[in-house]
Amino acid sequence: MKLLKSSLLVLSVLLFLSSCRTEEIQIVDPPIQNALEANSKVANLMKSTVLKDGSDDNIIDGASCLSIKLPVTVTVNSKEIIVNDEDGYEEIEDLFDLFDDDVDSIVISYPIEVMLSDYTIKTVNSDEELEVLAQNCKGDNEEDDDIECLDFYYPLTASVFDSNYELILTIKVNNDEEMHELIEDLEDYTAVTIDFPFKVILNGDTYVYINNMQELEEAIEAAKNSCDEDDDNDYNDDDCDDCTTDGVKEIFANCNEWTLEKLYIDEQYLTEEFKNFTFSFTENGGIKVDNNGTILEGTWEASGSENDIKFTINIPDLSYFNATWYLHEIKEDSGEVRFHFVLNGNHLRFKSQCSIVKDELSDVLLADGSAWVVENYKNNGVDETETFTNYELYFYSGNVVKAKKDGVVIEGTWEVSSDSNVLALNFPDAPVNEFNKEWVVALTSENEVVLETNDRRLVIKRVN
């Protein structure tokens, strides 16, 4: 028996040494009161927190407990699409939204690979195999079992002890998959502890320090149902996450002429009746409609926020438009903006051949030699704003940009595309080299610039 235990210990050490986690060997007394025990309540809560969330691609597979590895080729309503990233999911949704009286279809080109919630990879060769996998992992529940309202802030350090309670390994845990592996392996070790304190992230934007196992258990329990995890198959319910009434006013200030792209009322398409109409929305709530020289007037009013913005239109001579609509989506493409409103199965969509990036971005960044600060920075949905606290960005002519903090200056370069729609940043040193991207300019105003890539969002704000 003693030989068996020794062999198991050696095997455990070899397994750890062969993994990608960073390890050191020390001899210290373990804080046993903070031991992480296999199958304990807190271990199970931690495991649920680090399960792989597969809800991003529900528009393809309909299962939040698995995710399809990209790229994948699908045929949507007879059109073939190669999905390489999240933009591909939006393209599928756009095709689904194109008509309201058709039956949408999506055909997957097999074979594909899928990742289950425990990070296992499976090869799938047919719809039937995919359905079996989905049913096996989700059972009778449409939603998955992972906890998404709390995230660990990595890296974390775990300590592994032998039967003499001597520290044999310290492990640097860098992501959810590695934390899941550690929890799965708990039964193989005499004792495992997590080094406290460490941070967790609540609802994607609030940092909380955890000092012991009891606090961790309470924090995860409290976070279980504290946010909308968006695990269902309603692909349209989050299209206006970043919408604001002030943003609506700003778009109307920059985009003066709108045409009707779609009017679908009581299962009838009425778009053709208004194809020659031009609509103008003013910031102060006025509407003017030009029908080949005949001018009609009305009002608009917006209230609420994000996916619950109500938009009331009242044009006395155009009854089809008069209702309190819900703002479903604002879509900004290069040189074009669309507003999409919905109400009880009815659809109203306007478009304008303009860009809300109206001011020259270079002039905005250079104005008055002002400092800019990082108001918000998200990387793959994780809020990392705190990393850049107290950094000030200064933009200079000659494409020089400087990041300053506590007297330390990191000098880099910046460049704006000819149409002011892309800002390229390049810094030589951390942490601001995180911003070394070609950013799409989603919004610019006198005091704020919003930049985006496929997986990141950076908001900078003028401070003086």
- Give the CATH number for residue 376: 2.40.128.270
Residue at 32 is within a domain: yes
The letter for the amino acid at 41 is K
Considering the domain architecture, whether residues 122 and 158 belong to the same structural domain is answered as no
Considering the domain architecture, whether residues 249 and 347 belong to the same structural domain is answered as yes
Residue at 9 is within a domain: no
Give kind and range of the element (H or E) at residue 7.
helix 2-17
How does strand 422-426 pair with strand 400-405? unpaired
Residue pair 361/420 in contact (Cβ under 8 Å)? The answer is yes
Residue 432: half-sphere exposure toward Cβ, Cα within 13 Å: 26
pLDDT score of 103: 81
Provide the percentage of residues in the chain whose pLDDT is more than 70: 86
Considering the domain architecture, whether residues 380 and 455 belong to the same structural domain is answered as yes
Indicate the length of the chain as a whole number. Answer: 464
Q: In what order do the strands lie in the sheet with 79-83?
A: 79-83, 72-76, 106-108
Domain residue limits at 188: 20-50+149-223
Contacts of 409 (CB under 8 A, 6+ apart): 402, 403
Residue at 192 is within a domain: yes
**Model confidence over 405-450: pLDDT tens digits?**
998 999 999 998 866 778 999 999 999 999 999 998 887 877 889 8
pLDDT(138) > 80: no
Considering the domain architecture, whether residues 336 and 319 belong to the same structural domain is answered as yes
Global pTM reads: 0.57
pLDDT(236) > 70: no
For the chain, the domain total comes to 4
pLDDT score of 23: 43
Considering the domain architecture, whether residues 446 and 305 belong to the same structural domain is answered as no
Considering the domain architecture, whether residues 331 and 259 belong to the same structural domain is answered as yes
**Model confidence over 80-99: pLDDT tens digits?**
999 998 778 878 887 887 77
Considering the domain architecture, whether residues 317 and 441 belong to the same structural domain is answered as no
Residue at 255 is within a domain: yes
Considering the domain architecture, whether residues 251 and 340 belong to the same structural domain is answered as yes
Considering the domain architecture, whether residues 37 and 183 belong to the same structural domain is answered as yes
Residue at 238 is within a domain: no
**Model confidence over 39-78: pLDDT tens digits?**
999 999 999 999 999 888 999 998 888 999 999 999 999 8
Give the Cα separation of 165 and 161 in Å (integer).
5
Mark which of 138, 162, 192 sits at the end of a domain.
138
Considering the domain architecture, whether residues 214 and 169 belong to the same structural domain is answered as yes
